[in-house]
Structure 1
Amino acid sequence: MRIDQLNVNLRARSEWEAMELGTALVRRHARAIWLPLVCVSLPLFVLFNAAAWWADAFGWAWIAMWWIKPLTDRIALYVISRGVFGDEPRPLQTLRAQRSWGWTGFWGYLGWRRFSPFRALLMPVNLLEGSDAQQRGVRRRAVLGGAFGPALLLTTVCMAFELVIVSGCIAAIFLFVPFDLLSDSWRAAWEMVSETMPPWAKLGVNAFFWLAATLIGPFYAGAGFALYLNRRTEMEAWDVEIAFRRLRERLQQAAPLLVLALVLCWPMAAVHATEPGAAPSCSVPQGAFDEDGEAYSDEDEDESEDSPDVPADDPSNTPAVIFGGTAPDTAGFRQAVQRGYEDPLVSSTRQVSRWERTLTDAEKEAEKNERKLDKNGKGRPKGPLLPAQIAEWILWGFVGLLVVLLVATAPRWVRWLRGTGARRRTAVDPVLEEAVELPEVIPPDPAARARDLWQQGRPRQALALLYRASVESMSERAEVVLPPGATEAQCLRASRRMPEEADRTLFAQVVRVWQYAAYAGRLPEPEDFETLATTLQTQFRWRA
């Protein structure tokens, strides 16, 4: 399975979250599921019920429709199993695929496994994995082991939903019956059901069951498929595998940076490779020296004696042991070796001449001391090490910059390491709210009193007084009596009875200003308030 191409987030879910994921997948691919499902189930419904009408056996038609539910479940399973990979099949493609897809492990669900309450969970094992019969049995037991209870509960809940839909459809018929005739209709329906149902009633009940199965079946199959995915995620750690694959993709995208780092670090590796002791020393056995000292110099002889690779007293490093038998003539053997080294076919050499500056005695002594230091591992090789030094300086610069940043930002992150990094919440001034109550007794000069409240810093009380006085004036002019606690909407409907249009418009403006202030907290500007109070005082003839 191409789990890296899944368009759902695979993670460790509970069984209930997994079933919710399955229903969400069904809703996502609703058109691709229900179109082919209706195209398959509707002809079968017509065929079964036509045969039942002819044989007067509608009960057998209901049993046949119930028995072939796995056929519709496999349609939903086919669409969802492709849809989770972003490849939603077309309805016609789904219908064509049913002729050859998944029939090898499906026949059991139309036979002895039809009564299994775990069909939604186990059907993907047979139809999607494609294993043989023996392996399918092992896989079914492994998948069912951790989701036994949720699968059983899923089947029970879906059956309950189907019964509710059928009952609701039957009860909906009586919604069209007048209330006066409802009792008689219930009595007539009960007598019809208890005695002998007519064929059209039996056909209607079968149609309701078909409708319920068509609506709930895809959700049942989708929830079971999501349970199956969740079980495989738990058993095979799909979420961990996907995380590693995504990590690999991110590392592949960061490959140029890794190559750049390798280029910068390569000179450092070269420096370490040229240090003393890094390369193995080459030593020559003691028996290979020429007696006259022409083959090797005294300095080379000292280096070979100091070399720990080939001990001088090693008994296995003798001509007798190397060649076996009687030891050859040492002098002749040495001469043969010397001639072999001088042969240009064996060791081709060429003479190179170059000019060098003549060193003084002090410089020769210093060079000799440096060679001795290098031999003891305390010196450093000479050579063009400028790239390595630049790379080393850059790395040390990065380290220094990092240390400076850490020290500069220490006050921000040190307290988090100590466990006292809780952010201090800024103290918010408490909101002072004043209860606004509409005055029961209106003063004789409401506009002047409202201006005084506004100047005292109580604008909501001022607007409440204007609104209450406007309601009283409106009631007088409209000649209506408002009930206690009348709402703004009731007051607006009552204001339509005022004879003058200007009064109706002004009252609607007062109600709108009051609602903005009381419910939205939007107060008018001082100039707008003064204009409103003056207009109300003039038009409603309030005393100044």
Structure 2
Amino acid sequence: MRIDQLDVVLRARSQWEAMELGTALVRRHARAIWVPWVLLTLPLFALLNGAGWWLDNYWLPALLMWWLKPAFERIPLYVISRGAFGAEPAPAATLRAQWHWGWRGLLPYLGWRRLSPARALLMPVDLLEGGDARQRRARRRVLGGAAYGHASLLTLVFWHFEAMLQLAGIALVFLFVPLDALPESLRIAVSLIGSDTPAWVWLGLNLLAWAALTLIGPFYSGAGFGLYLNRRTQLEAWDVEIAFRRLRQRLQGGAPLLALALLLLAGLLPPVPGRAQNAANPQTAADDNRKGATLRAPGDPTPAAIFGPAPVDTAGFRQAAARAYEDPQLGASHTLCHWERREPATARPPKDWDFPADGILRGIGDLLALLSRGALWIVVGALLLALLLTMRRWLPWLRGGGRLPRHGAATPVAHTALQLPEVLPPDILASARRLWQEGRPRHALALLYRASLDELSRRAGIVLPPGSTEAQCLRASRRMPEEADRRLFARMVRTWQYAAYAGRLPADADFQALLDDLQRHYGWPA
């Protein structure tokens, strides 16, 4: 790796600064990242949702798109790992590289490492460094040691970002709903969630999930790459190596001038007497070098005579040294606290009659641990056996084709019980009373509600559109001239809603009082 070609400033950063560096790299190479991301993920999204529509199972495409996130995260890793060295790839080159680049190191992240909380930090080790499995395992352990907690927190934060974006997309839809229709719209939206959810609702939710993934995924990979780059800088001192390389380049430019200055300085220095005598007698010089003599003759010059007097320790030098030691990167001090016993325990002399409690307690603890482990395995086996034995009951529900049992205490009410009658009988109150006595109270209330709608149209002078909701009917009832009629219609609507949607039927006395009020206000024959 040519670290001298890096296009970023390498220095010792905190883990949070390293994440910000990664997101800055993503912003710098935004076009080179998002163009291939959309061109790759959008056709796959359409293909998976088309298969889900054909299978009538729409949660499976969303699950597959979420599970394939590590494969998509190769795109930002490929771009910023080359863009950091000043070689940003084109979108077409990035797309071509996805067919062959990084698959060997990616397969574990689509399998047993898919739920790893430090995936953003550890994926660059397998995709960018290579090596055999043992070397990659050692590199993951070394790089992830001090940054594993930050990488896990990064995963948690970005997961919340994606979830909030999806909720914000759902809330954005309701911003365009009028305020008076908002309660009814919310009720309809809640009723759409369940076994009868329309296909367009599933497709909309899947599209929101894909949009959140497209917006957040590259930043997540970039922040992980920033952590990876910072850990390698800390462990391998890349910033120091780059500083030395730049110093070497500057010195290489001034090397001839430095050599000339040394030659001139050597010519100006006076000759050393002792060295001159050794040069005149080569045998003596050889004997001195061979023996390694360290004694100096009385006539030999001293270092002070050659280099001058020793420098004086000035106050400025001491202040500079103090400031150097105050630098947290050079002379940082740490305070470590630990608990100690106020009165240290003294070793008790052994006795012949002492009971060997330590060994027995340790054995009891090992036995309890073994029994607990065995009990847990038994519980797991029992759960698996129960799942296998009840597979016929829960497996159809997972496939979306489950049916209610034919027998049981709770018999589902047919949807026809909640349908309003199209043609009204001439004796409305008598027919409603007869339906109530026959044990069909919802039919009776549906008949009264249908007749109240006709009375509303006649007294308010309006025509209700087909399929009008209860909220629309209540707003239309404000045009009725008399306040008593408006209150009676609101009471009828409320009674019908409780029975149709909440299963709360009125008592016999309340039902009879409702019939009396309808006869008195609307003039229906008894």
| TM-score of the pair, normalised by structure 2 | 0.54
Give me the whole-angstrom Cα distance separating, in 2, the residues matched to 1:212 and 1:135: 35
Partner of residue 14, structure 2: 14
- The aligned amino acid for 1:72 is F
Give me the whole-angstrom Cα distance separating, in 2, the residues matched to 1:418 and 1:91: 57
List per-residue Cα deviations over 1:425-444 (Å, max 9, x = no partner): xxxxxxxxxxxxxxxxxxxx
Partner of residue 232, structure 2: 232
Q: CA deviation at 1:60?
A: 0.7
- Would you say the 8 A contact 1:272–1:278 is kept in 2? no
Q: Which moved more, 1:31-40 or 1:241-250?
A: 241-250
Q: CA deviation at 1:268?
A: 4.2
Partner of residue 205, structure 1: 205
List per-residue Cα deviations over 1:322-354 (Å, max 9, x = no partner): xxxxxxxxxxxxxxxxxxxxxxxxxxxxxxxxx
Q: Secondary structure at the match of 1:145?
A: coil
Partner of residue 127, structure 1: 127
- The aligned amino acid for 1:46 is A
- The aligned amino acid for 1:139 is R
- Would you say the 8 A contact 1:277–1:377 is kept in 2? no
Partner of residue 173, structure 2: 173
Q: CA deviation at 1:130?
A: 1.2
- The aligned amino acid for 2:95 is L
Q: CA deviation at 1:257?
A: 2.8
List per-residue Cα deviations over 1:304-329 (Å, max 9, x = no partner): xxx8999xxxxxxxxxxxxxxxxxxx
Q: Provide structure 1 residue ranges, at least 5 long, that are not aligned to the other structure.
A: 284-306, 311-375, 379-394, 407-413, 421-544
- The aligned amino acid for 2:32 is A
**2:251 is equivalent to residue 251 of structure 1:** yes
Give me the whole-angstrom Cα distance separating, in 2, the residues matched to 1:208 and 1:196: 20
Give me the whole-angstrom Cα distance separating, in 2, the residues matched to 1:28 and 1:188: 44
Aligned residue pairs total 305
List per-residue Cα deviations over 1:11-33 (Å, max 9, x = no partner): 11111110011111101100000
Partner of residue 60, structure 1: 60
- Would you say the 8 A contact 2:279–2:285 is kept in 1? no
Give me the whole-angstrom Cα distance separating, in 2, the residues matched to 1:145 and 1:4: 26
Q: CA deviation at 1:189?
A: 0.6
Indicate the structure (1 or 2) with the bigger Cα radius of gyration: 1
Q: CA deviation at 1:96?
A: 1.2
Q: How does 1:277-426 map to 2 (within 5 A)?
A: 277-281=277-281
- Would you say the 8 A contact 1:12–1:233 is kept in 2? yes
Q: Provide structure 2 residue ranges, at least 5 long, that are not aligned to the other structure.
A: 288-297, 301-305, 321-526
Partner of residue 91, structure 1: 91
List per-residue Cα deviations over 1:4-62 (Å, max 9, x = no partner): 11111111111111001111110110000000011110010000000001111111111
Q: Secondary structure at the match of 1:57?
A: coil
Q: How does 1:421-432 map to 2 (within 5 A)?
A: none
Q: Secondary structure at the match of 1:122?
A: helix
- Would you say the 8 A contact 2:12–2:234 is kept in 1? yes
- The aligned amino acid for 2:260 is L
Q: Secondary structure at the match of 2:73?
A: helix
Q: Secondary structure at the match of 2:49?
A: helix
List per-residue Cα deviations over 1:163-222 (Å, max 9, x = no partner): 000000010001111111111111111111145210011000000000001111000100
Q: CA deviation at 1:275?
A: 5.8
- The aligned amino acid for 1:203 is L
**2:69 is equivalent to residue 77 of structure 1:** no
Q: CA deviation at 1:230?
A: 0.9
Partner of residue 40, structure 2: 40
Partner of residue 263, structure 1: 263
Give me the whole-angstrom Cα distance separating, in 2, the residues matched to 1:211 and 1:222: 18
Give me the whole-angstrom Cα distance separating, in 2, the residues matched to 1:199 and 1:11: 52
Quickly say closer, same or farther: Cα 1:82–1:309, change in 2 above 3 A: closer
- Would you say the 8 A contact 1:276–1:377 is kept in 2? no
List per-residue Cα deviations over 1:477-523 (Å, max 9, x = no partner): xxxxxxxxxxxxxxxxxxxxxxxxxxxxxxxxxxxxxxxxxxxxxxx
Q: Secondary structure at the match of 1:115?
A: coil
Partner of residue 24, structure 1: 24
List per-residue Cα deviations over 1:402-426 (Å, max 9, x = no partner): x9xx9xxxxxxx8866879xxxxxx
Partner of residue 191, structure 2: 191
Q: CA deviation at 1:278?
A: 3.5
- The aligned amino acid for 1:47 is L
- Would you say the 8 A contact 1:45–1:65 is kept in 2? yes
- The aligned amino acid for 1:22 is G
**2:54 is equivalent to residue 50 of structure 1:** no
Q: CA deviation at 1:280?
A: 4.8
Q: Which moved more, 1:87-96 or 1:232-241?
A: 232-241
Quickly say closer, same or farther: Cα 1:148–1:272, change in 2 above 3 A: same
- The aligned amino acid for 2:16 is W
Partner of residue 218, structure 1: 218
Q: How does 1:517-528 map to 2 (within 5 A)?
A: none
Quickly say closer, same or farther: Cα 1:107–1:259, change in 2 above 3 A: same
Give me the whole-angstrom Cα distance separating, in 2, the residues matched to 1:213 and 1:8: 27
- Would you say the 8 A contact 2:33–2:91 is kept in 1? yes
Give me the whole-angstrom Cα distance separating, in 2, the residues matched to 1:248 and 1:69: 44
List per-residue Cα deviations over 1:369-404 (Å, max 9, x = no partner): xxxxxxx989xxxxxxxxxxxxxxxx99xx9xxx9x
Q: Secondary structure at the match of 1:264?
A: helix
Give me the whole-angstrom Cα distance separating, in 2, the residues matched to 1:308 and 1:171: 93
Quickly say closer, same or farther: Cα 1:51–1:247, change in 2 above 3 A: same
Q: Secondary structure at the match of 2:193?
A: helix
Q: Secondary structure at the match of 2:208?
A: helix
Partner of residue 242, structure 2: 242
- The aligned amino acid for 1:191 is S
Partner of residue 113, structure 2: 113
Give me the whole-angstrom Cα distance separating, in 1, the residues matched to 2:185 and 2:25: 43
Q: CA deviation at 1:250?
A: 2.1
Partner of residue 163, structure 2: 163
**2:3 is equivalent to residue 3 of structure 1:** yes
- The aligned amino acid for 1:81 is S
- The aligned amino acid for 2:189 is A
How much identity, in percent, do the aligned residues show?
A: 57
Q: CA deviation at 1:265?
A: 2.1
Query: Over aligned residue pairs, what C-alpha RMSD do you find?
Result: 3.2
Give me the whole-angstrom Cα distance separating, in 2, the residues matched to 1:53 and 1:164: 26
- Would you say the 8 A contact 1:18–1:226 is kept in 2? yes
Quickly say closer, same or farther: Cα 1:43–1:415, change in 2 above 3 A: same
- The aligned amino acid for 2:124 is P
Give me the whole-angstrom Cα distance separating, in 1, the residues matched to 2:269 and 2:246: 31
- Would you say the 8 A contact 1:79–1:94 is kept in 2? yes
Give me the whole-angstrom Cα distance separating, in 2, the residues matched to 1:85 and 1:282: 58
Partner of residue 104, structure 2: 104
Q: Secondary structure at the match of 2:104?
A: coil
List per-residue Cα deviations over 1:120-145 (Å, max 9, x = no partner): 10000001101111111111111111
Q: CA deviation at 1:71?
A: 1.4
Give me the whole-angstrom Cα distance separating, in 2, the residues matched to 1:167 and 1:309: 88
Deviating 4+ runs (over 6 angstroms): 307-310, 417-420
Q: CA deviation at 1:100?
A: 2.0
Quickly say closer, same or farther: Cα 1:178–1:282, change in 2 above 3 A: closer
Q: CA deviation at 1:241?
A: 1.3
Give me the whole-angstrom Cα distance separating, in 2, the residues matched to 1:99 and 1:51: 23
Quickly say closer, same or farther: Cα 1:174–1:152, change in 2 above 3 A: same
